[in-house]
Structure 1
Amino acid sequence: MEWIYTLSGLVVGFIVGMTGVGGGSLMTPILLYFGINPATAVGTDLLYAAITKAGGVYVHQKHRNIDWHITLWLALGSVPASLLTVWAMHHIHTDIESLNALIKRALGIALIATALAIILKSRLLKFAQRHAGDWLALPDSERRGITLAVGLSLGVVVTLSSIGAGALGTVALFLLYPLIPTSRLVGTEIAHAVPLTLVAGIGHAGLGNIDWQVLGALLIGSLPGIYLGGKLSGGVSDHYLRPALALMLAVVGTKLVM
C-alpha cells in the first residue's frame, strides 16, 4: 500500500501547489477511503500539514508576506483551544466507535464549510473591501479580540477534523483585515497553521492516532507534488479548478455527515 499513499501525496500536493487549498480537505477523506480509522486519519494528516506548510512559511517570509502580529493573536486562541480539545478527547471516556463517529461528523461539516468558502471567496473579499470603512472603525483591542476568537474556533475545528486552517482561516482574515493584500493574508494563515497543526498533531500522537509509515509515504509524494503544482499554477484557470474542487469537497462532506 505504500506506493498508493505516495501517489496520493503526489496528487494532493500537486492540487495544493496549483490552488493553495485542499491539503487536509482532500488528504483526510483519502485516508478514510483506504480504511484508516478517522482518529488516525486526522492525526496523521495534521502532522503531514505541519511539515508541508513549514516550507510555505519559508517562502512567504522570504517575500515578506506574513503579518506576525496577526499570526500571534490567532495562535493565542488556536493553540490553547487545540490542547484543550486533545485533553477532552483523552479524558472524556467514550468508546472508540463514538469518538470516530464524532470525528467523521466534524470532518463532514468542515468539508462543507470549506467548499462554501472556496466558492464564495471572491464575493466575500469584494464585500469586505466594499465595507472596509465599517470594519476599520473598530478599535484595535476589539479587532484583536475577534482575531483571538477566530483562532479559538479554528483550534477546535482543526484538531477534531484536520480541516479548516487554510480556506476557513483565510476567509476569516479577509473579512477582518480587508485592506491587507491577499498574498499577505494567505502567508499569515499558513504561518498560523504550522504551530496549530503541529501542536494538534503531537497531541494526536500522544493518543496513538498517528500512522508513521503512512505519514512518511505521503511526504515522499507530496513534496515534489507541491513543487510541480506551483510551477504549473497558471496553467489551469481557477474559474474551472476551484468550483470542481469545491463540488468534490461538498459531496464528500455531505456523505460523512449523513
Structure 2
Amino acid sequence: MDISLLVIVAGVLVGLSVGLTGMGGGALMTPIMVLVFGVNPTAAVGSDLTASVAMKPVGAVVHHRAGTVRWDLVRWLLPTAIPAGFAGAWLISLLGDGKAVQDGLKLIIGAALLLAVVGMFARIILSRRRGTATTDGPTRIKPVPALLIGVVGGLIVGVTSVGSGSLIIVLLMLTHPRLRANELVGTDLVQAIPLVASAALGHWIFGDTQLALAGTVLLGAIPGIYVGAKLSARAPESILRWALAVLLLGSGMALWDVPGVVTLLACAALVGIAVAAHFIGRAGDREPVGLTGDDDAAEREPRPVATSRSAADGTAEAEPQPAATGTSTPTS
C-alpha cells in the first residue's frame, strides 16, 4: 500500500480522536510518525505542529461562539506561550541533527506522552475536587501563574508537539480551580492556536518540517475531526478516553524502547483499571468514570457563561437561577 494512503488513514484516526474526545492531536500523530512511518523525531514534531495549526481552530470556533472562552486569561497566557513555543523549536535546532540528538528527542517525546497520561489522571482528581468545592464567587485571573503556564507549556509544545491540550488544561485547573469545565477547554483551545503556530513557524524556519507530510495528514485529519464531532454526542466517550490513555502509555514506553512484555503488562494494567472504574461507576448508579471527570460534556456541548462585563474585569458572574415553579424545565 502507498505510504501516502497510510498517512491519510492515520490522519483520519487522529482526527476522529480529536473530534470525539478533544484530545489526541500531537500526542498520537507524533509517535505514529516516528514509530510507524520512521520519520525523524525532529521532522515528526515540526510536521505535526504544522498540521495542528489547521486542526486547532475547529474546536476553538465552537467555544468562541458559545461564549466559553476566557479571553482575559488568554491574554495572560500568550505573552509567554508564543515566544516559548518558538524557543522550543530553536533549542532543538541548536543541538544539531545527529543520531544522538534524534535518540534524545525520542526519549523526550516519550516522557511527554507518559506525562500526558499522568495529566489525564490528574484531571480526574481535580474534577472531583472541583465538584465538591464552592463555585459561587468570582473567578479572578492570576497573571503570574498564567504567565508561568505559558512558559512551561510553550517549551514542552515547541520541543515535543505534545501538551497543548492535556498538560496545559491540568495546569489551568491547578491555578484557577473556579473556572468552569467548558471555560477551561475553550480557553485552552484558543490559546493553543497562536502557541502551535509559533512553534510550527520555528520548526519551519530551522528546516525540520516536511510540509508534504503535514498536508497529507490534514487530508485525513480534517474530515476525521468533522465526523468525530458529529458522533461525539452518541459515542461512549469515557471508553474512548481510556483507550486513548492506553495508546499514549504504550507509545511512550515504545519510544523509550521498553521491552514489549513490560509494555504489554503496563497497558493491560491500565485496561484493568479502566474496567474496574467502569463497574465502580455502574455500582454507584452513575456514568462510567472517564479520564476527564466532568469535562467530557463541556468539550462536546459548551454553554455560554460569561458576559462582556465579566470578561472585562476578569470575573465570571453567577448564572441566574430560575424561580421554582410547579413544572420542571427540560434540559438539553
Same fold (TM over 0.5): yes
Measured in 2, the distance between the counterparts of 1:59 and 1:93 equals 39
Change (3 A) 1:59 1:8: same
Q: Which has the larger radius of gyration?
A: 2
Counterpart for residue 10 of structure 1:
12
Q: Deviations over 1:193-250 (max 9, x none)?
A: 1111101001101111111111111111111110110111133323322112111101
Deviates more, 1:238-247 or 1:183-192: 238-247
Counterpart for residue 144 of structure 1:
143
CA contact (8 A) 1:56 1:190 kept: yes
Higher relative contact order (CA 8 A, sep 6+): 1
Structure 1 segment 1-258 matched on structure 2, within 5 A: 1-32=3-34, 33-90=36-93, 92-128=94-130, 130=132, 143-258=142-257
CA contact (8 A) 2:12 2:221 kept: yes
CA contact (8 A) 1:119 1:246 kept: no
Change (3 A) 1:94 1:9: closer
Change (3 A) 1:112 1:210: same
Measured in 2, the distance between the counterparts of 1:227 and 1:16 equals 9
CA contact (8 A) 2:83 2:198 kept: no
Aligned to 1:83, what secondary structure does the other structure show?
helix
Identical aligned residues as a percent: 32
- The unaligned stretches of length 5 or more in structure 2 are 258-332
**One-letter amino acid of the structure 2 residue matched with residue 18 of structure 1:** L
Change (3 A) 1:175 1:36: same
Measured in 1, the distance between the counterparts of 2:138 and 2:183 equals 22
**One-letter amino acid of the structure 1 residue matched with residue 146 of structure 2:** T
Change (3 A) 1:40 1:138: same
Change (3 A) 1:93 1:224: closer
Aligned to 1:242, what secondary structure does the other structure show?
helix
Measured in 2, the distance between the counterparts of 1:94 and 1:211 equals 17
CA contact (8 A) 1:77 1:155 kept: yes
More helix by share: 1
The size of the alignment, in residue pairs, is: 253
Deviates more, 1:94-103 or 1:70-79: 94-103
Aligned to 2:68, what secondary structure does the other structure show?
coil
Provide the aligned C-alpha RMSD in A: 2.1
**One-letter amino acid of the structure 1 residue matched with residue 204 of structure 2:** A
Measured in 2, the distance between the counterparts of 1:139 and 1:231 equals 34
**One-letter amino acid of the structure 1 residue matched with residue 241 of structure 2:** R
CA contact (8 A) 1:6 1:222 kept: yes
Deviation at 1:71, TM superposition (A): 1.2
Measured in 1, the distance between the counterparts of 2:131 and 2:174 equals 8
Measured in 2, the distance between the counterparts of 1:210 and 1:163 equals 16
Q: Deviations over 1:150-171 (max 9, x none)?
A: 1100111111110001011112
Counterpart for residue 297 of structure 2:
none
**One-letter amino acid of the structure 1 residue matched with residue 186 of structure 2:** G
**One-letter amino acid of the structure 1 residue matched with residue 115 of structure 2:** A
Measured in 1, the distance between the counterparts of 2:95 and 2:172 equals 36
Deviation at 1:5, TM superposition (A): 1.1
Change (3 A) 1:93 1:228: closer
Q: Deviations over 1:165-189 (max 9, x none)?
A: 1011112212222222211110100
